[in-house]
Structure 1
């Protein structure tokens, strides 16, 4: 979710969406994180890490930082997040949300929210996220689940789940230094390519994206469809992303023995044309919910949301109740070796 530009056509929402995801990796106090991958002597798709309600705060850093994408958001620290009820474990699940009660100054710091980044970084992996609930499709909102390297864009970024406003179609996007021009990989993809061929266009800010063709792959429609699973397979030969509604999740995912060869055509299949071993390195997992900013704010005037309020910031500031469903409820995130 770093600065990216994509073009998407969505009925009734916008004619031309400029997507600029959520900022290059953040390394507290100049430190680096544990790095996993590459030399694991485990069977194919051996489990490396499980993130859930039993260990979430031990595995992630809560980042009280200025939003790199200039959103109308105030990312709070871990103590504030817990005191405000924005971050908590519910059994084995994890809740992460935003302030839904405060009427704000549109020229102020923004709506309180949570942004987290994994302490551990990975080099090629299968990442499977099981969501009971994702942030709803709301005017002004911009949630994302993604991975990013510390030296952005030279170490890459993989946006697995992302969208803005009233959208219900997910967009997966890669950001790199110039010279990564992935064709559609063997077996094809069900989504459609948007924006740039080179994932490094504009110094990495623009990215190369694939918009899902599934109208329940994002936001409110995803939740109404019973939640589901996103899986990203990142190898030396490419990056593939699948979405499964909860009722359609393959049994081999549910039983902890994932086998992507049996999952069918992915939504996004970034294949030949990029040196994935060089362009994507030491990636951390990130979750956030921001508002307005470079993408959601930049496309505000082209959406039906602008009919309610001509200013994205003013709308988000004055409508806290609109974000009652702007939260993640995460069953787990599992990372497997490849």
Structure 2
């Protein structure tokens, strides 16, 4: 009897090790900015923005940390004809596979002209090594300006499609190739969240939440939890995605994940207008009534962007 109990215990421990995740990188408030490079070149998405280096951003109060959170904001004081000052950062570490868990207390609000994003991308000519957008980037008319529900997307070279099976969100486009016929340019494969409060003002009013992305050879899955519904295993730093239920997005199907996604950096940014938010300005009546163009609004109304900030409680990357 004793031997059978011992065997069962050892088998359970072995299965836990084989299927479990261990913490690899902890982007905590104490080390957060030292683990990122600051992008200071022009915005690739043609936004009305000026990206700052670390020392300038710190001196202007646009970034800061305390014992429990990281603040990343924008200039919300000055009229800015050259573009509103903001931040784009990319992790120094590159990843292929992993479990990425982001706990946010606040994300940039649902403000006309804003285009925030939390995403990953590879080092070679885009989208050669793929792009994973957890919080909106390049999905038409979802997740910018005044939207309240998140969108998620993959962007790849030719030869990657997904089915939308096994997810709680709604598949909006199935071909991840950025030049796919029958889809908007650069749309990729996209999923729209069906969960209220997953983005913008509604997200902030609920006190934030947790985004988790599991990247394996077979699929890329994304979950969203409010703080009240976050699984206990995440809180105890022993995450087990198999116990979380259906993800909001399950990017799987006729796609060799490993041939399309590799060596990604983690990116946070907040731009304004540009190729997406600017292009849908006229089709968003509550925004179009504020100014003739997105650029006019962003340049001349600094006070509107005080709620445009990230408050990051933690970012943890787990491996197997």
TM-score by length of 2: 0.89
Say which of 228, 245, 250 aligns to 1:264.
Answer: 245
Say which of 36, 45, 49 aligns to 2:25.
Answer: 49
- Structure 1 moving runs of 4+ over 2 Å: 41-44, 203-206
Q: Which residue of 1 aligns with 2:265?
A: 284
Q: Which residue of 2 aligns with 1:189?
A: 167
Residue 154 (1) aligns with residue 134 (2): no
Between 96-105 and 67-76, the greater mean CA deviation after superposition: 96-105
Q: In angstroms, what is the RMSD of aligned CA positions?
A: 1.4
Q: Give distance in 1, aligned partners of 2:66 and 2:57.
A: 15
Q: Give distance in 2, aligned partners of 1:74 and 1:297.
A: 16
- The gaps in structure 1 that reach 5 residues or longer are 1-40
Say which of 136, 139, 149 aligns to 2:109.
Answer: 136
1:172–1:210 CA contact under 8 A, matched in 2: yes
Map Cα deviations across residues 42-72 of structure 1 (whole Å, 9 max, x no partner).
8731111010211012211111121000000
Measured at CA, do residues 59 and 302 of structure 1 come closer, stay the same or move farther in structure 2, by a change above 3 Å? same
Q: Which residue of 1 aligns with 2:235?
A: 254
Say which of 206, 212, 215 aligns to 2:196.
Answer: 215
**Corresponding residue pairs, total:** 292
Greater C-alpha Rg = 2
Residue 201 (1) aligns with residue 156 (2): no
Q: CA deviation at 1:104?
A: 2.6
Q: Which residue of 1 aligns with 2:274?
A: 293
Q: CA deviation at 1:135?
A: 0.6
Residue 178 (1) aligns with residue 154 (2): no
Q: Give distance in 2, aligned partners of 1:70 and 1:47.
A: 36
1:42–1:337 CA contact under 8 A, matched in 2: no
2:164–2:171 CA contact under 8 A, matched in 1: no
TM-score by length of 1: 0.84
2:84–2:299 CA contact under 8 A, matched in 1: yes
Q: Which residue of 2 aligns with 1:64?
A: 40
Q: Which residue of 2 aligns with 1:92?
A: 68
Q: Give distance in 1, aligned partners of 2:54 and 2:297.
A: 27
Map Cα deviations across residues 195-250 of structure 1 (whole Å, 9 max, x no partner).
3x211131782311101011200011001011110000110000110000111111
Q: Give distance in 2, aligned partners of 1:218 and 1:83.
A: 29
